[in-house]
Structure 1
Amino acid sequence: MDKRDKRFAQILDLINQNSDQVTIEHFCTELGVSPATVRRDLAHLQETGMIMRVSGGAVRIEPVSAATSVSDSHGVPTEQESDILIEEKRRIAQAAVALIEPGDTVFIDGGTTNLEIARKIAELSHVSVITTSIQAAYILSANPEISVIVCGGHMREIEAAESTIAPLAEKVIAHFRANMCFLSTLGIHTKNGITTPYLFTAQLKRLMMQSSAKSVLVTDHTKFGKTYSAFVCPVEQFDYIITGASSPEDDVAALQAKGVSVVLV
């Protein structure tokens, strides 16, 4: 187990030992690392569905046990599971970018799947991207033929990719109209819809959808069946949902019954 995996195991132990929120300061003291390192680790663990980030720290979603699929005895995702997810995200990104035409304007929000989309868009030309993701903007800026606009606002590591939130970002989004938006999610449920732990994030996603001709949800199979407190929209408001081929068959069928075009990759 390398240093990062050891930290993941320690973080999970600390969270499972506490019924309340564990603060970033407490993680720093116990692990002997910087706040930035803790935030990155928490973002990764949230992306895998093992914890939930909250303001100033993290809480457990459910007790982590050795029964977790493809995980080691500490509940930490193994190299095999991480590889499966990154390959799935890259396939999702490839399918998403295939929808883009030269001259298009697209919105992208935060999340590791959208970072893979940004890497694919960076290979194109004559595309304009408006994003709340600082990392996505940095990736895209390497190509001078891609026009990049970053929404202003407070920067928060609410997902694996830093994102800007707050009213200033909302005002920037409202000034543009896009051919499509690519949105990530932490929770997709056929009845409860698309949800996130963060109210501001939910609002930004809705604004991007309202300002786009088409809305595309990009999500790996681990996000199905999860519901968080902040409601974004019903699943049927998306024109496309691009997800992994291993997503639950019943959920995929339910989405299709609601008229959503589901792309399995």
Structure 2
Amino acid sequence: MLPIERRKEIAQIIKKEKAVRVNQLSEQFDVTEETVRRDLEKLENEGILKRTYGGAVLDNLVSDDLPYTDREKVNMDQKRLIAKYASQLVDEGETIFIDASTSALEVIKQVDPRIHITVITNSLNAIHQLNQYSHINLIGVGGNLNDQTFSFEGPMTARFIDHYYADKIFFSVKGISKERGLMDSRESLAELKSHMIANSKEVILVIDASKFNRSALIRIIETGAVDTVITEFSLDKSWKSYFDNQGVRVIIAK
């Protein structure tokens, strides 16, 4: 198969699956992983995808509000690795906010079952999945149900959130940049996260490498409002300096 034909097939795969892994493509096309990385680099230059650690995602994922069933497939290995580190920050008896992100849900799923906590969320999927955990006291906030994200949104949801105060919030975003801070795709999502952040003692951002240097429609908060960032992204000097200047602790999941 010619390289141009292989790249065309890779582009078709990522448009269908939303994300790809280097090792899987290497086996599928019977080429080296280095060859796959060069293919992904060319496709990234064409604006088709965004390379991540060990793979790539669709380039429009940051701006698109994907259905939850699609988001569950994107970068889950990285999200589980990040969650492994983040879950260790949860202490006995704490009250935790989580947003409707798959990253935040993974954190709670990995909390030691001997630790009893209260979780407050607007995510219908999180309510469904976490209901089986006996060590979690689960509080769901209502409102208008978004059938794409399986989450409750709107003014009523924000009012529900304002009735509570949490020890920590774990959340994710569509993009983070040094120029604009933390961003999301829709105003309603950004507003709810702002309410959760304002009502939390400690703010923890769980974010995979695909979200760095990306922009989205709505700015949520400045990066300096975050206490801790947990990511698998290997930060370069400029990002390390940026977080240091913002007073943000960074934990690299390895």
Question: Taking structure 2 as the reference length, what is the TM-score of the superposition?
Answer: 0.71
Report deviation, 1:144. 2.1
Aligned counterpart in structure 2 of residue 107 of structure 1, from 92, 97, 107: 97
Report deviation, 1:141. 0.8
Report deviation, 1:69. 4.1
The size of the alignment, in residue pairs, is 208
**Structure 1 residues 240 and 76, CA gap change in structure 2 (3 angstroms):** closer
Stretch moving more, 224-233 or 252-261:
252-261
Kept in 2, the 8 Å contact 1:220–1:247? The answer is: no
Q: Please give the per-residue CA displacement for 1:184-236, whole angstroms capped at 9, x wherever unaligned.
A: 10111122010111001111111101100010111001101111121100001
CA RMSD of aligned residues (A): 3.2
Report deviation, 1:68. 3.5
Report deviation, 1:115. 2.4
CA distance in 1, matches of 2:206, 2:115: 22
Report deviation, 1:151. 1.3
The DSSP-based 3-state class of the residue aligned with 2:197 is helix
**Structure 1 residues 168 and 245, CA gap change in structure 2 (3 angstroms):** same
Instruction: Check if 1:9 corresponds to 2:9.
Output: no
Question: What pairs with 1:1-265 in structure 2 (closer than 5 Å)?
Answer: 9=12, 12=15, 45=18, 68-69=40-41, 81=55, 85-121=75-111, 123-156=113-146, 162-265=150-253
**Structure 1 residues 76 and 199, CA gap change in structure 2 (3 angstroms):** closer
**What code does the residue aligned with 2:173 have?**
T
**Structure 1 residues 70 and 148, CA gap change in structure 2 (3 angstroms):** farther
**What code does the residue aligned with 2:55 have?**
E
**What code does the residue aligned with 2:119 have?**
V
Report deviation, 1:77. 8.6
* Runs of 4+, deviation exceeding 6 Å: 70-74
CA distance in 1, matches of 2:101, 2:237: 24
Identity %: 26
**What code does the residue aligned with 2:231 have?**
T
The DSSP-based 3-state class of the residue aligned with 1:115 is helix
Kept in 1, the 8 Å contact 2:103–2:171? The answer is: no
CA distance in 1, matches of 2:146, 2:230: 26
Name stretches of at least 5 consecutive residues in structure 1 with no aligned partner.
1-5, 13-40, 49-65
Name stretches of at least 5 consecutive residues in structure 2 with no aligned partner.
1-8, 21-37, 57-72
Kept in 1, the 8 Å contact 2:122–2:157? The answer is: yes
**What code does the residue aligned with 1:9 have?**
Q
The DSSP-based 3-state class of the residue aligned with 2:201 is strand
The DSSP-based 3-state class of the residue aligned with 2:104 is helix
Question: Taking structure 1 as the reference length, what is the TM-score of the superposition?
Answer: 0.68
CA distance in 1, matches of 2:213, 2:225: 18
CA distance in 1, matches of 2:157, 2:236: 34
